[in-house]
Chains A and B, each alone.
Chain A
Amino acid sequence: DTAVSQTPKYLVTQMGNDKSIKCEQNLGHDTMYWYKQDSKKFLKIMFSYNNKELIINETVPNRFSPKSPDKAHLNLHINSLELGDSAVYFCASSHLGGTVNTEAFFGQGTRLTVV
């Protein structure tokens, strides 16, 4: 069973379109993240949800909107896609509650290409 799964793995779309990336974790974690990785492999945190509440909201365009329907899911919707949005987007999860804090577990990534 895949611990953190995100879909799709590849996404090619035209400028101006709206797209969504889905993420699900089956680890029972209470915190989920979205990261953007650029072509130089630099990893940038975008959002983090803890128990469905937004706890990290870094400076990203408001065209990006996360949605967490429950603790196991964190989706990312992107409006009016631009060329500069092309990157690999990673979902991750960890557990921050109680006395046990785990490391982050990552999905396989979604390679978004805007043409």
Chain B
Amino acid sequence: GDSVTQMEGPVTLSEEAFLTINCTYTATGYPSLFWYVQYPGEGLQLLLKATKADDKGSNKGFEATYRKETTSFHLEKGSVQVSDSAVYFCALRSDSNYQLIWGAGTKLIIKP
């Protein structure tokens, strides 16, 4: 079945460091890919998405490119801030049954 694998956390970085959180997926067909962010004490909210190969999603300085050849959707940000500390979830939506499949989440800690 479809699955999403993302790097284990926590990931701890200093402010202004470069961020990469890896996400790879297994799916048949052409799924849509998402990154969600969960700030402490809150629900998940969509950070960015890509619906077809080579699409780049971007928001709030974060970017991720849908790479079908490597089945990846890695999240990147050039210069992180303390306010980016949160849990980040990679997810896919199957194009056959529209089920959402979630990664395990990666906790990001940014130190000043």
Q: Which residues of A contact B (CB under 8 A)?
A: 4, 33, 41-43, 45, 56, 90, 92, 94, 96, 101, 103-109
Contacts and interface: CB of A to CB of B under 8 A. Distances in A.
B99 A109 contact: no
Contacts of A45: 100, 102
B45 A101 contact: no
Contact of B42 (A43, A94, A96, A108): A108
Interface size class of B (residues with CB under 8 A): 10 to 19
Nearest to A96: B98
Nearest to B32: A101
Interface string B79-112: 0000000010100010000111010110100000
A43 B43 contact: no
A101 B102 contact: no
Contacts, number: 40
Most A CB contacts (10 A, CB to CB) among B44, B49, B93, B99 go to: B44
A109 B43 contact: yes
Most B CB contacts (10 A, CB to CB) among A43, A56, A90, A106 go to A43
A104 B92 CA distance: 11
Contact of A56 (B38, B42, B45, B99): B99
Contacts of A33: 100
B46 interface: yes
Given A106-B43, A106-B44, A109-B43, A43 B93 contact: no
B102 to A, nearest CB: 5
A101 B31 CA distance: 12
A107 B32 CA distance: 22
A41 B99 contact: no
